[in-house]
Structure 1
Amino acid sequence: MAPQPVVTGLSPKEGPPGTRVTIRGEFLGTRATDLIGLTICGTDCLLSAEWKSSNKIIARTGFAKGKGDIIVTTVSGGVGTSTVQFRAYHETIGPLKESAVWIEESPMQSLTWGRRTLAPSGYTQDDPLGLSIEGNEKKFPEDLREIFPDCNGDLSQENFSPGWFLLENHHGTSFEDLKAGLAYLKRKVESQKEGQLSFLKSNAGSVIDQLDTLMNIREKFQEDLKEIGPEPLKELELSIESSIKESKNIFNDVLTRKEKADSTRAALFALSRHRFLFCLPNAIDKSAAAGEYDIVVNDYSRARNLFGKTEIPIFKKVLDEVDHRVLNVRKQLHEKVVKMPQSVEQQKKLIKALVNLEIQQSGMLVNERLRTIDPAWDAIDARAKYLEQTFKQTFDLMASKDSEKEKSYFSESKSRERDPNQPPNRVLFCEEICDIAASQLPDLWRLGQSYFTGELRGTSDPKPGDFKRIILSSIEKFCTFLRVVLLVQLDQRLMRQTTGLSWPSSSSSVTQQFLLWLPQCLRYMRIAYATLIQLDLPSEALDIVQKFIDDLRLFCFSTIFKRSIDRVKKLVQKETWIMGVEDFPGATMLPSMLEEIIVETLEEGQNACMNPEIREGNLLESQSEGQRELSQKLQDMLSAFCSVIENLASQSQDDEGHQPTISLLGFSSFQQNGVERKNWDSATSWEQRILCCLANCSYCSKVFFPHIGTIFVKYGYPLPKLAIETSRASMNQLFTTLLEDFVERKSDPLVGTIEPSMYIAQFQWDSEMEIGKLRPYAQECCDNLVGVYSEIFTISPSLLRPVLEPITQTIAEELARLMSCVQNFSRSGAIQANVDIRLIRDALKLYSNETAKTFFMEALEAIPPPEDPKRIDQILDNIKQNMKLQLMSFTVPNP
């Protein structure tokens, strides 16, 4: 509890009633409502008190006199104390002094034999000393109650004290004037004593006439006693009664007419006085017709307060009529409340008027004619139904437009193209239904909040569970319509069975055009979602919208990737066979084109749908549907890229109109249809294309696909490890397939020329021959290998070992087979065969695997051992020296 109020200062310290006083002190209240009492000199002055602060109060003094304390009372501190006092006095107001009241200027007569005025003023009285008191405005400084405790200064009081009177009215009068006033008072008293005799002298005739009249009355009274007797009053009473009876007979008609006139006058007066009640029925109808329902409520409330308990029949009859009119107004109000569309403010205004009228008529018999209703809840239900109806009408309208538009396009020329800048009807529907939800759902929510906070509550109990069901149902319907229209990848038959809704089927081109507008639809949805978030809706309602937005984001992201996959498939037409990868010879610009598509795809996906907004989660969380979709789409994109490389390789083989022939120089593969291709940018051979495809496969598997992972991480996406590894495996498989095909196409002709060249001109190994140089088959085999080496080295040196190793194995196997088929070797034939096989073996040493080495060994073992190995070594060295230029390329370990 706060400390008691204490008054420590006062300004001014004295004054007449009505003086404006400034009171200062401590703990005078914490606020205006805390001040509950203020007395000055024992007079309550709370009504005029003006609280300024806890240290200051301004008030006006009451009708008090004398000194007294100033007591302040507060709720927080209780009754206070005062260390100062206020002195109150009454001023004497003369005719020349300013005053706030009317002063009776005529003097009050004080003669003993005279008559006093009918309304003497309490503010003026004649001074018995005959002196003016206007010069004594300054009051006596001391309190006269203390000097004269049981006296009074009023001349009309019994305890009149001359000393009080003189101090109060003449404390400033000089002694000479007081002496003159005493002389005046004495003369006045003497004149009053002589006034009785002089009165008789001046009025002697009138006194004698009065005496004569009294004598005549006495004589007449004695005569009446002789004639009538001692009781004349009975006769007088009978006479008076007969007079009254006769007067009634005479004036009966007049009195009747007077009574009628009086009753009519009374009725007219009642009508005039209570005109409000009698005009109220028509006034209620006019106000209701004008929509001024507040006036209806106020007038009806006023009538019930004034005449609700009346027993007068006419008033009760009028009140019954008013009740019936109000009942009709309630019915009209209820119809308007549930009529849509209308603004929330207008609806709330109607509900408040209806609730007030319902409360005022509750418990009445007339109220039984209208069933008990809850207007606020009916308004909520009507607004919710109108919202769902608007959703359905918009859906049907846009669906019918889309169906008619599709039919018109089919009926017209197929060459006509759609305007890509014109949004499809699906997009228009999304925009319109989002606008409807963003405008009407907040109105429904605010109306419900006003109902549950008590602003619109009537006599019925609220229904929070039902309202929550309405909100959830409205939002669920909103998302269902959008799900049917926007998520075209869903099973439309299943959606039609579960929701009863179906959008007209569209052609593939129309659907593809719509998919380009998906990010815009997502933007419309997010704008509507932001509006719903501001309403502080329950989390269950927001989760419904968030779930749909996540699905739409994922579908939008999937659509963006599908378009990118289509672009990747078209890279077949954009391959220029320009090798532009510095660190990986043979690789073309095809992977960089794929990288551009991936970067554009990731940027578009991030800007359109991946970046989460208000209350949206991350679609690419670990083990989420979004991450699985991202991995699958990337895998599909890389798989499409693998197909692009495969298609390019197959086209390269299909473009080659004939099988290349291997000449002694081994460069015939660079010619096609008799035209030499020197410029690779304008025309490349099939070998170069396949080698570029192999280089691209190797580059993608080793460098580019892992690089894709860094791109995803750079743009804030999770690392798609599974998709990359799967794609690398697919690319390696493609590399193996293309390599096998290329090796087969290169090795079959090369190996096929060995046997014909070996036995050309009916050569036999058992005949004697000139030795010292290679046989034509060995020379041609080396030259052909040099040609293959040159092709590969020019395009991609890294492919030398993968290509030459299986070719070397095939050559070794063929030589082993041919040598094993020779039955007899001459001495020179054995030396020549040994030199040929060893030269080929030594030349291809770097590209011989264990299997090839085994075949070379089998070929040498099939030849009889030489008698002079040194001679063979000498011949082999001479041949190697002569073929140094051809053999040099096979000696570079890492070209």
Structure 2
Amino acid sequence: MANRPIVTGLSPKEGPPGTRVTIRGEFLGSKSTDLVGLTICGCDCLLSAEWKSDKKIIARTGAAKGKGDIIVTTRYGGVGTSTVQFRAYYETIGPMKESAVWIEESPMQSLAWGRRSLAPTGYIQEDPLGLSIEGNDKKFPEDLRDIFPEGSGDLSQESFLPGWFLLENHHATSFEDLKAGLSYLRRRVESQKEGQLSFLKSNAGSVIDQLDTLMALRDRVTQDTKLHGKDQVSDLDVAIKNSIAASHELFKDVLARKEKADATRAALSALSRHKFLFCLPNSVEKSSERNEFDIAVNDYARVKNLFGKTEVPVFKKVLEEVDHKILAIRRKLHSKIQEMPQGVEQQKKLVKALISLEAQQTGTSVHGMFSVADPAWDAIEARAKYLEETFLKSYDQYSSKEANPGESKSRADPNAVPNRVQFCEEMTEIAASQFPDLWRLGQAYFTGELRGAGQPKPGNFKRIILTVIEQFCSYLKAALIPHNSQRSFLANNMKGLPSWPASNLSLNYLITWLPHCLRYVRVSYATLIRLDLPSEALDIVLKLIDELRLYYLSTILKKANEKVKKLHEKETWEFTVEEFAGATGLPLKLEEILSEAIEDAHVICLTPEIRENTLLEPQSDGQREMAKRFQETLATFCGVIETLALQRSDEDPQQAPILSQLIGFPTAPLQQQLSGDKSWGYSISWEQRLLCCLSNCIYSNKIFFPKLGGLFTKHNYPVPTIAIENSRSTVNTLFSSLLDMYVEHKSDPLVGTIEPSMYIGRFQWDQVGTSEKLSPYAHECCDNLVSVYSEIFSISPVLLRPVLEPIVQTVAEELARLMTCVQKFNVNGALQARVDIHVIRDAVRVYSNETAKSFFMEALEAIPQVPESEERVQETVKIIKNNMRLQLMCLKVVDP
């Protein structure tokens, strides 16, 4: 296999497309047909390649740019390699480049105003150094003018400075590249010096054509000089001047006839206008009667333009009569401007007519008889006064209906719309329909459309707008918010208004219409926003909306509080809370009420609309009101639990009977409930209802009240943590008081029977015989404790320790007292007493606190110690506990 071709030399190493390149190397082919491929800088140059020998090839470069390898491909050697590179660039014609044709050396100047010249674009100066300036950010010429005040970087200028050129085009070029550019420039200069003759030879045709053109031009100039002389344009100048004079002479008669015709037409026009002048007084009067004031204005303006400065007596007399007619029209216009109601466009039309007549009559003899400085301002005041009177009239109408029940259908018919709601609808409709007219009239006045001779009064107009909006809000607030709930800036404005009569509407009836009223107020607020009113005016309505939202929030929560107050009537004593034994469905009913209230508040007043604020912002009145009402509701719920706990039916005994077995097992209804019957009602005992209330207290404190925060987070509202914690404290206090009540109710009869049972049948501790059984009083005490345990366990096992610990402590204290009071024990009596105390202490050990344990020790210490009797006591205790294991088994459970 033949060796791969290698390119080791190149001459020249750079040039534009079409440069003749000599390629030297090895293994370039043994004959011309061996050369099958040649690429220079990625361009195929095989067509221009000329094979000379196996070490030399001559070719011309293609349309490439940048540096690249020279790859030779032979038939047998394949694709070769290159150790040198060729740099291709595009060359532009400039002042340094010889050319056989004419090149415009001065670049086209662009006009200052940016118009584009129709001439060809100027040449692009080539870089004399032959270096690439890509990546070099050119300096601004203003920076270089400070360094070279009298120089230039343009190659075509006489003030060309190389330093400017290098800083402008090659400030980022390395020194080695600049040296290479200098070498390139020297080679170009030397090649031009040596090749001038060859240049002329190669371009001989173009040079001969240029010589022929110059010789033809010289012959034509010589011929024209012989025919016309040296000053060839003088005759042309004379001919132009003669043509101008002839044109003036030609149109002189035409212009004269035009002037005469114009004068004739002006005379005829004046004759026709005379008839208009004499008929004008009657025409103006008829136009005024038909309220066609614009026709009168136009006719008067026309006659003033035609005859305003006339000296003809007849014309003056007619004009004076017309002026008096116009004066009457001005008075009529001024009165019509202030007549209400009328549309704003009609009012603007009248104001424009009056202003026009005022201006036209300025300087006449009748102008001083009636003068209106600013009719547009009078129109604004009249419209504002009418709007205020409309508000007051509507307020008086509906407030009087509220004060007279016989005239109001809403009091007789519960489905009728209340008067205050009807008033809210009418007020918002008045504001939405009439206030925009007042605002547009004022805008037309201040933009100059209706401005008369007087100066504008922006401060007064602002006062009018604010007054109207404040009155609008004051009337609405008087009707929709009770006086005791008002606490805003509008309260001061309410002092001058008649108070809205007190309403007997129920809270449930009124809250039905509150969203309706708020929606109407929001619609009127949206209308004012579209008018682009100043923020100071919009803030008044926004503050009213915020107060309405706050009042409605308070009303909704008050309604919820009223529902909570009646929850004790809906208590069914059913265990519907799976996660907490003993809790009834009462907390879930509270959650339903609160969830419904918050959902209603979210829909009605808590969701802000356009440009409204968030009602429950931190430290805001809304958040404080929400927390206050929420805490009141939870406190009411605690009161409901207390009411249920203290409520006794006629069937409940006033006092627990003192029997041998004081506390019985659950009654039949309770057993039915435990077996699946959910209808307790008042069939269960008061003690069992009290246990349910205690369970509800624990459930509310630990689980239910903290869970209520989820109702607020559901809608991304701040959780009233302080209100919840205060309510937990309240329900915890309630739990403590109810627990003391239950413990006292259970412990007093139980403890009271210990001493009578101990000394029943004239029992004496110094007369006790031998026995290995438990004393009757101790047996009864254990049975009573088991009975209490059974009742608590059937309702809520969570209450076992809170209830049994104080009861056991009381029993232990009573036993310690009784043992201490015994004056004398015999041996059997001491053994029996120790056995009784041991059995009772061991039975209630799980529910004995440290105080109870100390009382049991005190009771044992009060009993005389019999020598060598402890083993006997323990054996007897063991036998007794084995016989009573069914009774004592429940008391051994640590965490039921």
Q: What TM-score, normalized to structure 2?
A: 0.68
Query: Partners in 2 of 1:647 and 1:560 — Cα distance?
Result: 24
Q: Summarize deviations over 1:242-294 as a string: whole Å, max 9, x none.
A: xxxxxxxxxxxxxxxxxxxxxxxxxx999876110011011001111112111
C-alpha deviation, 1:666, in angstroms? 5.1
Partner of 2:612: 616
Distance 1:151-1:461 versus aligned 2 partners, 3 A rule:
closer
Partner of 2:521: 525
Q: Summarize deviations over 1:797-846 as a string: whole Å, max 9, x none.
A: 00000000010011011111111111001111111111111111111111
Partner of 2:679: 681
C-alpha deviation, 1:540, in angstroms? 0.7
**Equivalent position SS for 1:524:** helix
Which one of the candidate residues 432, 454, 460 is aligned to 2:454? 460
- Structure 1: 5+ residue runs without aligned partners? 9-144, 158-267, 410-415
Query: Partners in 1 of 2:707 and 2:322 — Cα distance?
Result: 87
Report matched runs for 1:314-393 at 5 Å. Answer: 314-393=314-393
**Are 1:424 and 2:430 an aligned pair?**
no
Partner of 1:67: none
Partner of 2:304: 304
Report matched runs for 1:445-484 at 5 Å. Answer: 445-484=439-478
Distance 1:813-1:523 versus aligned 2 partners, 3 A rule:
same
Q: Summarize deviations over 1:5-57 as a string: whole Å, max 9, x none.
A: 9999xxxxxxxxxxxxxxxxxxxxxxxxxxxxxxxxxxxxxxxxxxxxxxxxx
Report matched runs for 1:59-70 at 5 Å. Answer: none
Query: Partners in 1 of 2:542 and 2:856 — Cα distance?
Result: 72
**Are 1:649 and 2:645 an aligned pair?**
yes
C-alpha deviation, 1:501, in angstroms? 2.2
**Equivalent position SS for 1:580:** coil
Partner of 1:882: 883
Alignment length, in residue pairs? 641
Name the aligned partner's letter for residue 860 of structure 1.
L
Give yes or no for contact 1:666–1:788 (8 Å, CA) kept in 2.
Answer: no
Query: Partners in 2 of 1:560 and 1:152 — Cα distance?
Result: 103
Q: Summarize deviations over 1:208-256 as a string: whole Å, max 9, x none.
A: xxxxxxxxxxxxxxxxxxxxxxxxxxxxxxxxxxxxxxxxxxxxxxxxx
Give yes or no for contact 2:280–2:322 (8 Å, CA) kept in 1.
Answer: yes
C-alpha deviation, 1:668, in angstroms? 3.1
Give yes or no for contact 1:660–1:669 (8 Å, CA) kept in 2.
Answer: no
Give yes or no for contact 1:768–1:826 (8 Å, CA) kept in 2.
Answer: yes
Give yes or no for contact 2:809–2:852 (8 Å, CA) kept in 1.
Answer: yes
Report matched runs for 1:800-811 at 5 Å. Answer: 800-811=800-811
Distance 1:749-1:672 versus aligned 2 partners, 3 A rule:
farther
Query: Partners in 2 of 1:345 and 1:880 — Cα distance?
Result: 106
Partner of 2:873: 872
Q: Summarize deviations over 1:48-78 as a string: whole Å, max 9, x none.
A: xxxxxxxxxxxxxxxxxxxxxxxxxxxxxxx
**Equivalent position SS for 1:668:** coil
Distance 1:670-1:417 versus aligned 2 partners, 3 A rule:
farther
Distance 1:827-1:731 versus aligned 2 partners, 3 A rule:
same
Give yes or no for contact 2:665–2:791 (8 Å, CA) kept in 1.
Answer: no
C-alpha deviation, 1:667, in angstroms? 4.8
C-alpha deviation, 1:625, in angstroms? 1.1
Distance 1:273-1:616 versus aligned 2 partners, 3 A rule:
closer
Distance 1:569-1:876 versus aligned 2 partners, 3 A rule:
same
Partner of 1:534: 530
Partner of 2:556: 560
C-alpha deviation, 1:634, in angstroms? 0.5
Give yes or no for contact 1:662–1:669 (8 Å, CA) kept in 2.
Answer: no
C-alpha deviation, 1:504, in angstroms? 4.5
Q: Summarize deviations over 1:754-808 as a string: whole Å, max 9, x none.
A: 1111111111111032311111111111111111101111110000000000100
Distance 1:565-1:654 versus aligned 2 partners, 3 A rule:
farther
Q: Summarize deviations over 1:383-422 as a string: whole Å, max 9, x none.
A: 000111000000000011111226879xxxxxx9854432
Distance 1:286-1:7 versus aligned 2 partners, 3 A rule:
farther
Give yes or no for contact 2:631–2:723 (8 Å, CA) kept in 1.
Answer: yes
Query: Partners in 2 of 1:506 and 1:407 — Cα distance?
Result: 16
Distance 1:270-1:610 versus aligned 2 partners, 3 A rule:
closer
C-alpha deviation, 1:648, in angstroms? 0.5
Partner of 1:490: 484
Report matched runs for 1:806-845 at 5 Å. Answer: 806-845=806-845
Partner of 1:587: 583
Report matched runs for 1:673-752 at 5 Å. Answer: 681-682=679-680, 683-752=683-752
Give yes or no for contact 1:578–1:588 (8 Å, CA) kept in 2.
Answer: yes
Give yes or no for contact 1:662–1:784 (8 Å, CA) kept in 2.
Answer: no
C-alpha deviation, 1:329, in angstroms? 0.5
**Are 1:400 and 2:396 an aligned pair?**
no
C-alpha deviation, 1:850, in angstroms? 1.2
Give yes or no for contact 1:577–1:692 (8 Å, CA) kept in 2.
Answer: yes
Query: Partners in 1 of 2:702 and 2:506 — Cα distance?
Result: 41
Distance 1:321-1:750 versus aligned 2 partners, 3 A rule:
same
Query: Partners in 1 of 2:552 and 2:830 — Cα distance?
Result: 75
Report matched runs for 1:841-856 at 5 Å. Answer: 841-856=841-856
Give yes or no for contact 2:507–2:555 (8 Å, CA) kept in 1.
Answer: no
Name the aligned partner's letter for residue 805 of structure 2.
E
C-alpha deviation, 1:659, in angstroms? 2.2
Give yes or no for contact 2:766–2:825 (8 Å, CA) kept in 1.
Answer: yes
Name the aligned partner's letter for residue 834 of structure 1.
R
**Equivalent position SS for 1:347:** helix
**Equivalent position SS for 1:761:** coil
Query: Partners in 2 of 1:649 and 1:4 — Cα distance?
Result: 98
Partner of 1:48: none
Give yes or no for contact 1:663–1:784 (8 Å, CA) kept in 2.
Answer: no
Over aligned residue pairs, what C-alpha RMSD do you find? Answer: 3.0
- Structure 2: 5+ residue runs without aligned partners? 1-111, 120-234, 248-267
C-alpha deviation, 1:509, in angstroms? 3.5
Name the aligned partner's letter for residue 559 of structure 1.
T
Q: Summarize deviations over 1:398-450 as a string: whole Å, max 9, x none.
A: 011111226879xxxxxx98544322101111111011111111111110000
Query: Partners in 1 of 2:531 and 2:241 — Cα distance?
Result: 78
**Equivalent position SS for 2:761:** helix
Name the aligned partner's letter for residue 787 of structure 2.
G
Query: Partners in 2 of 1:526 and 1:873 — Cα distance?
Result: 85
Give yes or no for contact 1:670–1:677 (8 Å, CA) kept in 2.
Answer: no
Query: Partners in 2 of 1:347 and 1:768 — Cα distance?
Result: 119
Partner of 1:282: 282
Q: Summarize deviations over 1:342-385 as a string: whole Å, max 9, x none.
A: 11111111111111111111222211001233111000000000
Name the aligned partner's letter for residue 394 of structure 1.
S
Partner of 2:100: none
Which one of the candidate residues 627, 634, 646 is aligned to 1:631? 627
Partner of 1:893: 894
Query: Partners in 2 of 1:593 and 1:674 — Cα distance?
Result: 22
**Equivalent position SS for 1:516:** helix
Name the aligned partner's letter for residue 487 of structure 1.
I
Give yes or no for contact 2:301–2:360 (8 Å, CA) kept in 1.
Answer: yes
C-alpha deviation, 1:653, in angstroms? 7.0
Query: Partners in 1 of 2:592 and 2:524 — Cα distance?
Result: 34
Distance 1:511-1:375 versus aligned 2 partners, 3 A rule:
farther
Q: What TM-score, normalized to structure 1?
A: 0.68
Name the aligned partner's letter for residue 859 of structure 2.
A
Name the aligned partner's letter for residue 870 of structure 1.
E
Query: Partners in 2 of 1:644 and 1:659 — Cα distance?
Result: 24
Higher CA-based Rg:
1
Query: Partners in 2 of 1:786 and 1:151 — Cα distance?
Result: 143
**Equivalent position SS for 2:379:** helix
Give yes or no for contact 2:665–2:790 (8 Å, CA) kept in 1.
Answer: no
Query: Partners in 2 of 1:7 and 1:826 — Cα distance?
Result: 143
**Are 1:543 and 2:543 an aligned pair?**
no
